[in-house]
Structure 1
């Protein structure tokens, strides 16, 4: 009945409270890392190893059913049991393990037991006790039994137990989508970020050191800048604090915690020094850094093969027609917003406070902004005062993090028009209401902020051509924003 190797992915281990506080309630298998869920990652590696006999246990009924089937297992059957609370840090080795498992000399553990759990290759008799109702003590006693405790491999896959918050956050480092030119390396309590874009690394490193004292409580200190002429890097303290994107896409926030996040971010906005340059000068900055940047990037995108393909696709089925057409409507809206914007001062800003660049601990309300646009001097740090708010808005109101992590579908409606559907509805409506209410109370014009947010979605198109499916998602979001802006009085 069973192939020579059968994989049992045991997804019954519960999320500890500390992990639920990071990603919300759910299962380990559903947690996303770099746009792929843990369960999908495991299954993909199993398939790469040539095994299609895969059982995903989500409760004790699944385990009981499998136990009944195993009673008829052929002699020599071997089972690879993978507890969902443990993940391989060297995922490619898992495929190799599966390919070689047919040569396994009986039952053996693939790593030392951690908190009563261990991945293991097991013969039928050694697997059956683990298919009883899930009990951590039973698991512990089984893996510590003389029959198994002395038969441990050298952990070739680098399995780590994700029930420990510090190990979970270390494994998840860089979990939400990042740009390809950055590389992060963790060593002890330090995270070192490096890139061949040396000027960018120097600017990011320098920003903390040129930032005014009023902003430093919101920033993560940088240190240890190095530049070998090819790659530059700098270090930061590795905090055991998750980024907001990870929490937002897993729906970990409740209304109270999200209100704390918004209030903390607006405290940062209020703490920024302002330089009164006058309305005309601020509008000139907006045209250069928002409107002209959008124009240049759209020209670049529509001038390449990928951009032309997206343009043709939207011409046929887009809700507002071709990208080249509705982008012109978007430009008019952004230009009109600049003319209506009465901001008369520039601000020293972060430049990229999207949710993946905001560390936030919901229990302590600790908030730190990382990965700034950067500045090598105070003069380089001045920017339009609403730019940081537009970046925050494109996560809360625009659903950027859902698209960026492939948590969306593009579907055809009854009129044969493309529509964007974010997973589980995207950002909760209550989170958007909290943000919009806070903006109104602060006297910020939501229409102007959202027009600048529109420019962000259009500007990022040429930056994501390594993930083509995102391009249509960003373009359809721009369509929604254009329609919303045109409806406003």
Structure 2
């Protein structure tokens, strides 16, 4: 598909908390949905449509949205900005966006809480339409038999007794940007505040066609938001995820059954008290070819989404971290048994295995891993092969003094659902093995997993919110664009590590191993892989 028209995304409004009572964000565009904000879904869809020039209209003080777009999408799509103040209308936002495009062309106009994944054309004037519930929430349109718009009915409080009306979804394409600017000015001069008035002016000059949307996700009203979030739920280790909206259950299916079988086994073996921290298993089915699990579905955001995209102050994070350590303390109070060699396998043998996987993936990694030193942001660090003997000694020492307890095994922010209003924690996607299948492992591993999210900024790396430059074979510069809450949360986390009687150096050592050993599983994302490896090398140099 090729679409040369640029796009304008209107993000200048505030959240209407009567329609969308979500207290973690001040902008619709930054509300997280299954691992990325609404604006991320919209931009990724535009990139897929080959629309690579975008003007985002936002309030001057919306630094979070501005920073996210500047950091996460540099080099992927051209994002320009047009700024408005809080008192403006959607029409003034649109005019600012249109004025930022200095070329004769068509234009896609998209509301910042709307995702349309249908194919688009730049050859016709059209608006996407869909079915609606109550007229007062929508601008309705009446079209003739050819699909050309005849009349607009904007958010009417009266019942409209006409058949065949459809609702504007929030995605419009106009082929004449000069006429669009003129129509917008006329609408503003008439005292209007609604986008439909501008469209009506435009429609009188150039007829606009309706196009029914097949893949429409509306994030501006709470009922539609919930439905969109469920529909866009991304499967990770599973072949499919299916949500029952009435029973609030999620069914996971996997033909690569080992991972899901270990997870199911973990849930079943948990002590009864700890099962309260996880979604209940409703149904299960295991065969040679497939594992199926049906569990309770929780709508809480995961903590990675809150960390990356939420507008939460430091005190909220302090409380959240205290709650996570309370949960960890409860889990690790249940003791078990593991042989030292099984724990050593996780810390040493697994790391060597992953290094071998890297060498097989890309010839460049062989050069990297054989280098004695790496220069990272102007500092020289010993590389893995110089650290190898000390890593093995440290790993064996950890294994020798480990006390096995119940372990989640993947206790990172993306696997922790958190209700910030009621401090409810629910854990999902456990590892299900540590050296061998089961529920036991080294509790320091869970603390290190959590640290690699909070302090190591793993979730920022996964979200590609960083810059990276390779100056030579062994010289690198990078910057991770963490938000304002990062430094305070990282300091508070390390305070909790010490307060809970863990050795911070041991936790950092395990965290370093986590970073270097996860690299092979991100093949296809070379900059992400390199940044993970460099992060791990820096940590290992700190503690060895």
TM-score range with shorter-chain normalisation?
0.7 to 0.9
Contact 2:279 2:428 in 1 (8 A): yes
Tell me the alpha carbon deviations over residues 253-278 of structure 1, each in whole angstroms, 9 at most, x when there is no partner: 3222222322222222222244365x
Aligned mate of 1:390, from 424, 431, 448: 448
Aligned to 1:275: 335
| Equivalent in the alignment of 1:445 | 503
**1:254 equivalent in structure 2:** 313
Q: Give 1:103 shift.
A: 3.7
What are the Cα deviations for residues 306-350 of structure 1, in whole angstroms up to 9, with x where unaligned? 562672797796438799x42551662463265267845311111
Distance 1:430 1:50 in 2: 40
Cα pair 2:255 2:290 within 8 Å, conserved:
yes
User: Take 1:477 and 1:4, find their aligned partners in 2: how far apart are those partners?
Assistant: 40
Task: Label 1:201 to 1:451 Cα distance change in 2 as closer, same or farther (>3 A).
Answer: same
1:175 Cα offset (Å): 8.1
Aligned to 1:365: 423
Q: 1:130 to 1:477 in 2, by over 3 A?
A: farther
SS in 2 for 1:275: coil
Alignment-derived partner of residue 225 in structure 1: 284
Report which stretch shifted further, 395-404 or 122-131. 122-131
Query: What residue in structure 1 maps to residue 81 of structure 2?
Result: none
Alignment match, 1:81: 109
- Distance (whole Å) between structure 2 residues aligned to residue 340 and residue 228 of structure 1: 37
Unpaired stretches in structure 1, ≥5 consecutive residues: none
The equivalences for 1:176-325 within 5 A come to 179=236, 182-188=239-245, 189-227=248-286, 229-272=288-331, 273-275=333-335, 283-305=340-362, 308=365, 311=368, 318-319=375-376, 325=383
Deviations 1:3-62 (A, max 9, x none): 99664322223234557634x34461x567688765465456556656677543333565
Change in Cα spacing, 1:54 to 1:387, as seen in structure 2 (3 Å) is: closer
Distance in 1 (CA, whole Å) between partners of 2:352 and 2:99 is 64
Task: Using structure 1 for the length normalisation, give the TM-score.
Answer: 0.78
Distance 1:168 1:413, change over 3 A: farther
Structure-1 separation of matches of 2:192 and 2:323? 39
1:349 aligns with 2:368: no
Distance apart, 1:351 and its partner CA:
1.0
Asked if 2 retains the 8 angstrom alpha-carbon contact of 1:116 and 1:139, the reply is no
Structure 1: distance between partners of 2:221 and 2:186: 22
Per-residue CA deviations over 1:132-178 (Å, capped at 9, x if unaligned) read 49x99745898999x99x9854322x222213456446545698997
SS of equivalent to 1:119:
strand
- Taking the aligned partners of 1:216 and 1:260, their CA distance within structure 2 comes to 23
On the 8 A contact 1:310/1:472 being kept in 2, the answer is no
Task: Identify if the C-alpha distance between structure 1 residues 284 and 174 changes in structure 2 by more than 3 Å, giving closer, same or farther.
Answer: farther
CA distance in 2, matches of 1:32, 1:218: 23
Report if the CA contact (8 A) 1:249-1:402 is conserved: yes
Q: Which residue of 2 aligns with 1:9?
A: 9
Residue 23 of structure 2 corresponds to 21
Q: Quick one: distance in 1 between partners of 2:241 and 2:270?
A: 23
- Distance in 1, matches of 2:523 and 2:302, equals 24
Q: Deviations over 1:280-305 (max 9, x none)?
A: x6643421222221122112222432
* SS of residue in 2 equivalent to 1:270: helix
SS of the counterpart of 1:56?
A: strand
Does the CA-based 8 Å contact 1:6-1:80 persist in structure 2? Answer: yes
- For 1:250 and 1:258, the matched residues in 2 are separated by 13
Deviation at 1:457, TM superposition (A): 0.9
Q: Is the 8 A contact 2:183 2:198 kept in 1?
A: no
Asked if residue 162 in structure 1 is aligned to residue 223 in structure 2, the reply is: no
The one of 486, 493, 506 equivalent to 1:428 is: 486
What is the correspondence of 1:466-481 to structure 2 with a 5 Å cutoff?
466-481=524-539
Cα distance in 2 for partners of 1:46, 1:426 equals 29
**Superposed CA offset, 1:358-383 (max 9, x none):** 1011111111000111269x982111
